[in-house]
Structure 1
Amino acid sequence: MVAAAAAERVVAELREQCATPAARLDGVAAAMEEEMRAGLEHEGGSKIKMIISYVDNLPNGSEEGLFYALDLGGTNFRVLRVQLGGKDIKPESREVSIPPHLMSGNAAELFGFIASALAKFVADEGRSNGVLNGRQRELGFTFSFPVRQSSITSGTLIKWTKAFSIDDAVGEDVVAELQTAMEKQGVDMRVSALINDTVGTLAAGSYYDEDVVIGVILGTGSNAAYVEKANAIPKLEGELPKSGNMVINTEWGNFSSSCLPITEYDQALDEESLNPREQIFEKLISGMYLGDIVRRVLLKIASQSSIFGDINRTKLKTHFILRTPDISAMHHDETPDLRVVAEKLEENLKITGTSLETRKVVVEICDIVTSRSARLAAAGIVGIIRKIGRGTAGNKEKTVIAIDGGLFKHYGKFRQSLESALVELLGEEASKSVGIKLANDGSGLGAALIAAAHSQYIN
């Protein structure tokens, strides 16, 4: 009984610290909106970068022709070919692994390897590598590393992330590097758009539904992009685009505010991370971190009670050993004896022989951590909706949010919690004009679609 009481005390404290009542979420949404405005005012004006994407036209389903995409964001990259001419499109794609030595070599070798794979992909069409029906091939390039963009077709690399470390590429225009490499491979192709995966998600959603004005990624990481009025961006220099619009990549993962419900577990995770005091919002809501937050709570319970029995805590002390798919499986366990929870505890943490009551405690922890994540994501979305003057009872304009990422796609209780929080924050009436839809493969398909929307043959 004493052991159970100690565990209950830890869970009760967690529930209180993670609480996200509507008033708190309203504060988060207001703080998000305020940071967005500051970031649009001038560079460095906000914790969130509010990057100008130079995408001023989103695809609308009228685009026609054959377009390509290159999606580079990790140890694999993808090349895609998309034939447009109607809403029913079936991209052909090929995934290629990057040899480890090229990830820390030089820029010419990496981009040469990518261009070589692209040349093979084009050659497999059975057509020449030259023009296509009198047109030069056009490509959308999704480059999911920090870049400073100066136009739709140029961007200099700020720094590498993930497993990449190619010094001579930093400060260089990644489009120019790719263009040079393609020319050496004899691929006559023009990069029509440089984007990141969140802008691609927005584009993929927009192609099928013109009411999509926000794109969100809720997966391993998290970010959002949206359509802003060009005249509401003080830091936008030069002539305003004819469309009057501009897609903004918020980089909301770096958002932080005193409104956020931060626990001792979040603080410890942040301090021990590779980027302490950065990406605070992402560390609260994204799939990379949820499993580890749950692990940290379980470790505290194991140190203060004996509900897990006499266990070796080595696994429980191992960072990121518990992943979000594991907590999703436990959270969704509907077996009478919570068998899946037992299996996951044994498989990942070497915790065996747990009682049903103990397994229920684990499910409750998964629920608390995930609900907080989903509700905070909803507050972030509401901040964007309010920034663009939508989602009020008097505004009947349809607002659709396209969302991609495994957390939203595969974690049902996360999705339900996010959707209910949106209704709670917007109100029953206003929420009727706001919808959410899954946008699959924004990072690949979206790049080809933006290339089409910005084609030299259309504009």
Structure 2
Amino acid sequence: MIPTFVRRRPSGKETGTFLALDLGGTNLRVCQVTLNGDTTYSLVQQKFTITQDAKESRLWDFIADCVGIFLEEHGLSPAPGKRTIPCGYTFSFPIFQTGIASGNLSMWNKGFTVPNSVGRDVVNLTQSAFQRNHVPVEVVAVLNDTVGTLMTSGYSHPDTQMGIIFGTGTNAAYWENMENIPKWTGADRKGEMVVNMEWGAFDNATEVLPYTMHDNKLNRKSSNHGLQVFEKMISGLFLGEVARNAILSLVDQRLLFEGRSSEILNKSYTFDTAYMSEIVADDSKDLRGVKTILESTLDIPPTTFVDRQVVKNVCGMIGTRGVRLSAAAMSAVLLSRPELMENPLSVGIDGSMYQFYPNFEKDLYNVSRTFLGDDFVNNRLRLHLAKDGSGVGAAIVAMTVEHERS
């Protein structure tokens, strides 16, 4: 539950053109976002693959080089009377945020090992590289991708209360009354602020969630054992592995495939969550799609129709549990602000599970009725895809900062 220093909701009427950087584990996206003032925006973006050299040593100068190329190719320069172009910065690594435009790097992950960075302000490191390379850009806001999703949805739908990522991983951010944020140490406690929940770490003490032996096996063998335990039950990186553990358990009991497996299926993380999506969506009479995945892709010996039915049921149960837990978490956050639920309310969502897992959005609505009631879900709750939210949202936060400066 991390205060983000983002304190102004977008109205959808803001205008202007802003830069955004979105630094992930594989790519750096540089974006030019134009806010049209009518809840719509346009986006010009360029992706740069992060080199191994950048991951190991010269990341900050690499970022400056890429931004310089983007400015040159698109003919961008500071506005008349200004020395720099304002920029929002989505930084997808753990930082301890100390201000709207400052945050100290907690640790590297995703294969990055840039020296002399941990514990230092990532905005200062980036800004210094801009100055060294004569790039006329000023980072005015730093945020994570969930906050970006919230702000992107909020620009198009000003009644947005939450931003959620349901993808390879999961996280959420929401608007909270500042008087209810104990971690906020500022003098001003009026109004609202976005809180980055980091909800993938919910129940790391493993005392609340309904774990099975298959979840425990995944957690025990994972590189981050005992961490992100909620994420491991609902996100795309892990659901296929939970399903693989469950399938192998049935194989060991000789209840599947006559007790036979394959070298591929025996290896961790070979049963991709994308396979789960295809299997759950297969409504053919003889489950031919399931047969192809099991026998051709995973090299399992010839399967029976019953085998394929069992595998489909296993995948369906694990996927359904993931959606139910997702809906429970979303509903719990909405219920923490009951005064907002009297009126229409939107939730911005991005990520591969939400976009591609069969019936994920429909099931989110249906399960939420259990917690929020039919009237609210049918008449006031709206879920929206906030595509490219991390880039667009960074530009929108930059815009709110510039608005407060002027």
TM-score range for the pair, normalised by the shorter chain length: over 0.9
Say which of 350, 354, 358 aligns to 1:408: 354
The SS at the match of 1:59 is: coil
Q: CA deviation at 1:100?
A: 1.1
Amino acid at match of 2:46: R
Q: CA deviation at 1:165?
A: 1.6
The SS at the match of 1:94 is: strand
The unaligned stretches of length 5 or more in structure 2 are none
Rounded Cα–Cα distance in structure 1 between residues aligned with 2:40 and 2:296: 42
1:418 aligned residue: 364
Say which of 362, 387, 391 aligns to 1:444: 391
Say which of 367, 373, 384 aligns to 2:316: 367
The SS at the match of 1:336 is: coil
Asked if structure 1 preserves the Cα contact closer than 8 Å seen for 2:55 and 2:113, the reply is yes
The equivalences for 1:47-446 within 5 A come to: 50-86=1-37, 87-105=39-57, 109-127=58-76, 129=77, 131-135=78-82, 136-240=84-188, 244-256=191-203, 258-305=207-254, 307-309=256-258, 311-390=260-339, 395-431=341-377, 432-446=379-393
Change in CA separation of 1:318 and 1:70 when aligned onto 2, cut-off 3 Å: same
CA deviations 1:269-327 (Å, max 9, x no partner) are: 00100111111100011111001111111111112116414745322221110111111
- Counting aligned pairs with the same residue, the percent is 36
Rounded Cα–Cα distance in structure 2 between residues aligned with 1:292 and 1:348: 16
Q: CA deviation at 1:349?
A: 1.9
Question: Which stretches of structure 1, 4 residues or longer, exceed 6 Å deviation after superposition?
Answer: none
Q: CA deviation at 1:457?
A: 7.2
Rounded Cα–Cα distance in structure 1 between residues aligned with 2:130 and 2:304: 61
Rounded Cα–Cα distance in structure 2 between residues aligned with 1:310 and 1:140: 55
Change in CA separation of 1:457 and 1:420 when aligned onto 2, cut-off 3 Å: closer
Q: CA deviation at 1:390?
A: 4.8
1:33 aligned residue: none
TM-score with structure 1 setting the length? 0.84
Asked if structure 1 preserves the Cα contact closer than 8 Å seen for 2:27 and 2:49, the reply is yes
The SS at the match of 1:361 is: helix
The SS at the match of 1:315 is: helix
Amino acid at match of 1:399: L
Q: CA deviation at 1:246?
A: 0.4
The SS at the match of 1:423 is: helix
Asked if structure 1 preserves the Cα contact closer than 8 Å seen for 2:40 and 2:156, the reply is no
Q: CA deviation at 1:90?
A: 2.0
Amino acid at match of 1:408: Y
Asked if structure 1 preserves the Cα contact closer than 8 Å seen for 2:2 and 2:196, the reply is yes
Rounded Cα–Cα distance in structure 2 between residues aligned with 1:246 and 1:140: 17
Amino acid at match of 2:52: P
Rounded Cα–Cα distance in structure 1 between residues aligned with 2:273 and 2:365: 19
Rounded Cα–Cα distance in structure 2 between residues aligned with 1:425 and 1:119: 50
Rounded Cα–Cα distance in structure 1 between residues aligned with 2:382 and 2:36: 26
The SS at the match of 1:280 is: coil
Change in CA separation of 1:336 and 1:458 when aligned onto 2, cut-off 3 Å: farther
The SS at the match of 2:270 is: coil
Amino acid at match of 1:99: T
Choose 152-161 or 336-345, whichever is displaced more. 336-345
Choose 132-141 or 380-389, whichever is displaced more. 132-141
Asked if structure 1 preserves the Cα contact closer than 8 Å seen for 2:168 and 2:235, the reply is yes
Q: CA deviation at 1:261?
A: 1.1
Rounded Cα–Cα distance in structure 1 between residues aligned with 2:46 and 2:75: 16
Rounded Cα–Cα distance in structure 1 between residues aligned with 2:296 and 2:364: 29
Asked if structure 1 preserves the Cα contact closer than 8 Å seen for 2:93 and 2:109, the reply is yes
Rounded Cα–Cα distance in structure 1 between residues aligned with 2:137 and 2:392: 17
TM-score with structure 2 setting the length? 0.95
Rounded Cα–Cα distance in structure 2 between residues aligned with 1:326 and 1:223: 23
Asked if structure 2 preserves the Cα contact closer than 8 Å seen for 1:51 and 1:248, the reply is yes
Amino acid at match of 1:65: G
